[in-house]
Amino acid sequence: MGKERIVILTGAGLSAESGVPTFRDKDGIWAKVDYREVATPEGFARNPARVHEFYNMRRRAHAGIRPNAAHAALARLEREHAGEVWVVTQNVDALHEGAGTQNLIHMHGQLFQALCNACGSRAPWAEDLSLTTVCPACTNAGGMRPDVVWFGEMPYHMERIRDLLEAADLFLSIGTSGNVYPAAGFVAEARASGAHTVELNLEPSEGCSLFAESVYGPATAVVPAYVDRLLKDL
């Protein structure tokens, strides 16, 4: 015992109780904003100022937002579990790292990072981006974009994630609706590799029937309780 390799997929539901809006809930971001305008390469090509405005607003909204008890429980799991724990997050916020998680993969990119379309370099970014922002690496103006994966783009680190899923003994999916691939397909990949699969979410997700075990409730309640139990059982 103690060698179990745990892979945890997280989504917007994990950060909801920190005050970060989800995407597909009743008051979610995609109920108010057309994703084709702000989260596709075509939308950025058509109206880059609109896209910058959307992400600048989201970046600013993060001031004062703190990790919640669910982020803290996952960081504790990594610290206290004798085996390997990896968090693969679809969230672009910085709340996992804020809580102390170290083995972290941002598969949909990061709000606080910018990517230069001209030279491909990345830079930490806490300020607004605009059409005149200058790339600190190549000094070109106008090519900077948020380093966030948009619809139609390939999520980051997929090879590494597939290796982790293949080796996983336990796969947890937390706070995600299971609508967006490839992340929605991870449960099937983990199952095929022989992992035990568990969903923790406010309500059954799209792919809920694919999980061997399910726990429903708000993340700040169910995640700390699940981690407590896991650390006792392992």
Nearest distance from residue 44's CB to ligand OAD, in Å?
Answer: 13
CA contacts within 13 A on the Cβ side of 80: 14
Nearest distance from residue 13's CB to ligand OAD, in Å?
Answer: 2
Instruction: Report 15-54 residues binding ligand OAD (CB under 6 A).
Output: 16-17, 22-25, 28, 39
Q: Looking at 62, 71, 81, 108, which residue is catalytic?
A: 108
Q: Could you confirm whether 81 is annotated as catalytic?
A: no
Mask of contacts with ligand OAD, 139-178, x by CB under 6 A? ----------xxx-----------------------xxx-
Count of residues engaged in binding ligand OAD, rule: CB under 6 A: 27
Residue type, 117: N
Task: List, in sequence order, every residue forming a beta bridge with 123; answer none if it has no partner.
Answer: 114
C-alpha 177/C-alpha 85 separation (Å) is 22
Q: If we measure between CA atoms, which residue out of 82, 119, 111 comes closest to residue 95?
A: 111
In angstroms and rounded to an integer, the radius of gyration of the C-alpha atoms of the chain is 18
Q: If we measure between CA atoms, which residue out of 79, 88, 80, 68 comes closest to residue 171?
A: 88
Query: Using the rule CB under 6 A, is 108 a contact of ligand OAD?
Result: yes
Contact (Cβ atoms closer than 8 angstroms) between residue 87 and residue 8: yes
Q: CB nearer to ligand OAD: give 5 or 96.
A: 96
Q: Which residues of this protein are in contact with ligand OAD, per CB under 6 A?
A: 11-13, 16-17, 22-25, 28, 39, 90, 108, 149-151, 175-177, 179-180, 201-203, 205, 218-219
Active site residues: 108
